[in-house]
Amino acid sequence: MDTHENARTTPRSRQLIVTRLAEGWTVRAVAAALGIDPKTVRKWRDRFAAEGTTGLANRSSRPHTYIAVRYITMQSGMSGRHKYKNSVVIRNRTGYRRKRIYQSYSKI
């Protein structure tokens, strides 16, 4: 997966974050040296702790499932598009916003 042009970190710089933290640098010092927010440094530190080096790789930001449609499909046994034509009914059953429901419909 390619890194997009606006990315502040790459897998190599994420490894540098982890290395510097292991050397005893503070989160703020690492963030200042790389020109990123301390929150970003903590995110990569935590991912490395949880997943190891694979956690530093690029990953898709696209959601894996669309929860509202999945919920409706499980409840009805058929596609949400055919069972419920009214987004208000779906919103009342799931608690999701109408925009999220329409986004989910466009994926089935």
Ordered domains of the chain (ranges, CATH): 11-56 (1.10.10), 67-105 (no CATH)
Q: pLDDT for 36-68, tens place per residue?
A: 999 999 999 999 999 998 888 887 766 655 555
Task: Answer with the residue of higher pLDDT: 108 or 27.
Answer: 27
Q: Looking at residues 76-100, what average pLDDT do you find?
A: 62
Separation CA 85–CA 66 (nearest Å): 17
Task: Answer with the residue of higher pLDDT: 84 or 35.
Answer: 35
Q: Looking at residues 7-25, what average pLDDT do you find?
A: 91
Q: Is 84 helix (H, G, I), strand (E, B) or coil?
A: coil
- The closest alpha carbon to 90, from 79, 106, 101, belongs to 101
Q: Write the CA distances from 37 to 10, 27, 29, 61, 106, integer angstroms.
A: 15, 9, 10, 19, 35
Is it the case that residue 76 has pLDDT exceeding 80?
no
Q: What is the mean pLDDT of the chain?
A: 76
pLDDT on residue 45:
95
Q: Is 58 helix (H, G, I), strand (E, B) or coil?
A: coil
pTM value? 0.55
Q: What is the 8-class DSSP label of residue 23?
A: T
